[in-house]
Amino acid sequence: MTFYSPVVTNAKEIAGHEKLHLFEYVEDEKQYQLKRYLEHGGYAAWKTVLGKMKPEEVIEEVKKSGLRGRGGAGFPTGMKWSFVPKDSPKVRYLLCNADESEPGTCKDRVLMERDPHVVIEGMAIGAYAIGCHLMFCYIRGEFHHSIERIEKAMEEAYSKGHLGKNIYGSGYDLEMIVHTGAGAYMCGEETGLINSIEGEKGMARIRPPFPAIEGLWECPTIVNNVESLAAVPHIINRGADWYRSMGTEKSAGTKLFSLSGHINRPGNYEVELGFSLQKLIYDANYGNGISDGKKLKAVIPGGVSTPFLTPDKVDVPLDYESLTEAGSMLGSGGVIVLHEDTCIVWTILKLIKFFRHESCGKCTPCREGTGWLEQIIQKIEDGRGGPDDLEKLDSICGNILGRTICPLGDAAVMPIQSTLKHWRDEWQYHIEHKKCLVNQNFGF
């Protein structure tokens, strides 16, 4: 089988590499096999948990570590787990969100393809912490190789007693199902994902009730991103304090960043939170600068749902708080770099087309608004823009922002709003001159 996977960093050569854990063995071609995984200390955390820890202790440890969700919202993982009602007579579910479909993000895939057991181990520990006996890994349908690797790993784990009945003689039973998606960005949104497993369309649900109270089949349900879960075995093995010691005060640990676009060394990098975005882009061990020696125009720091950063804002630490302060968000860690020849209108048109296509259609502002926005932006891109179009865009974005069921509506308009603010002249130019300000030509 030809095996493709996004390039990763030469992890070992980077200063401070001893702290890297998610990518510690990522370049080991055999790491996906149980044998090698065990050689590298795999399933030790799972054994510790089942042998020595109560579920509350696991939650406490993860809370203490400061781990925050890597799927986009950055919600503290331990705290989320603690929301599952202790006294509920219902069964509980843990869902691993491996839908990775935020444009600009391709990190979860690397973990699943290259280190699938750590994902399963993390899921298992999370499941134990919330008292779940059936967990699902929801992988987007296009990721055939990830699916294959996770399924194989799952079979291996079952056959060696890491999953199944009475694991390690602890009396704990845990089953796992790999559920695959079929092409819908919305199924990455946690309630869309739950609906999708239930056999519904991947539409958002109103909250409350939050999934931790009433999720899959109306039972308490926790949804965690692949990367969040993959960090958990390391936290158990090395301790919450070790994890806390990395990153910043409020953004502990390391995070994977997918660097793409106009960059010399695109790839997935594991860095401590608080790492400089500037460094990530320009350092020779990382992005190594803008491609073709061009100047930087904009950076989308956390996947296409996050507002654009102007070059003067790029000297920012990559952590949840700093990016918010800089006017954007850490999101899923999909850093997209745009060089000077990129037309902002064209870029935004790409994005809004995506969001229109992916809007689930349940709530009015998102369903109707994204289509309307696309039509206006297309008109401007085609050189048919009118003088009041920008105002209209402002107003429509404002009418969507904060008014939708799920954050997709916000995600669709925040990038637009950021460019309307920072590149308004370019928008204006496009309308007045009926063409791009820049001379864009992305050859192939």
Ligand X SMILES: Cc1cc2nc3c(=O)[nH]c(=O)nc-3n(C[C@H](O)[C@H](O)[C@H](O)COP(=O)(O)O)c2cc1C
Strand partners, 136: 95, 177
Between residues 224 and 347, which has the closer beta carbon with respect to another protein? 347
Residue 97 binding result from ligand X, another protein, ligand SF4, none, given CB thresholds of 5 to 8 Å by partner type:
ligand X
Number of residues near ligand X (by CB under 6 A)? 25
- Span near another protein by CB under 8 A; candidates 27-35, 64-72, 257-265, 431-439: 257-265
Q: Which residues contact 140 (CB under 8 A, 6 or more apart)?
A: 98, 99, 100, 101, 180, 181, 183, 187, 188
71 in contact with ligand X (CB under 6 A): yes
Within positions 180 to 219, which residues make up the interface with ligand X, using CB under 6 A?
A: 185-186, 188-190
Q: Per-residue DSSP letters for 361-414?
A: S-SHHHHHHHHHHHHHHHHHHTT---TTHHHHHHHHHHHHTT-SSSTHHHHHHH
Within positions 79 to 108, which residues make up the interface with another protein, using CB under 8 A?
A: 91, 100-106, 108
Query: Using CB under 6 A as the criterion, which residues of the chain lie in contact with ligand SF4 when the complex forms?
Result: 186, 203-204, 359-363, 366-367, 404-406, 408-409
To another protein, the closest distance from the beta carbon of 321 in angstroms equals 19
> Is residue 70 classed as helix, strand or coil in its secondary structure?
coil
- Burial of 224 by CB count in 10 Å (0-12 exposed, 13-18 middle, 19+ buried)? buried
Between residues 23 and 185, which has the closer beta carbon with respect to ligand X? 185
Using the structure block, give the residue that is written with the tokens 């520990």. Answer: 125
70 in contact with ligand X (CB under 6 A): yes
Between residues 41 and 182, which has the closer beta carbon with respect to another protein? 182
Between residues 278 and 305, which has the closer beta carbon with respect to another protein? 305
Residue 224 binding result from ligand X, ligand SF4, another protein, none, given CB thresholds of 5 to 8 Å by partner type:
ligand X
69 in contact with ligand X (CB under 6 A): yes
Within positions 261 to 300, which residues make up the interface with another protein, using CB under 8 A?
A: 261-262, 266-268, 300
DSSP 309: B
Between residues 6 and 76, which has the closer beta carbon with respect to another protein? 6
The answer to whether 339 and 295 have CB atoms below 8 angstroms apart is yes
CA distance 199 to 196: 5
The answer to whether 133 and 124 have CB atoms below 8 angstroms apart is no
Using the structure block, give the residue that is written with the tokens 């796992």. Answer: 176
Figure out which of the listed residues 25, 46, 128, 185 binds another protein, where binding follows CB under 8 A: 185
Between residues 179 and 367, which has the closer beta carbon with respect to ligand SF4? 367
Residues that bind ligand X (CB under 6 A): 69-73, 75, 77, 97, 99-102, 185-186, 188-190, 223-225, 228, 406-408, 411
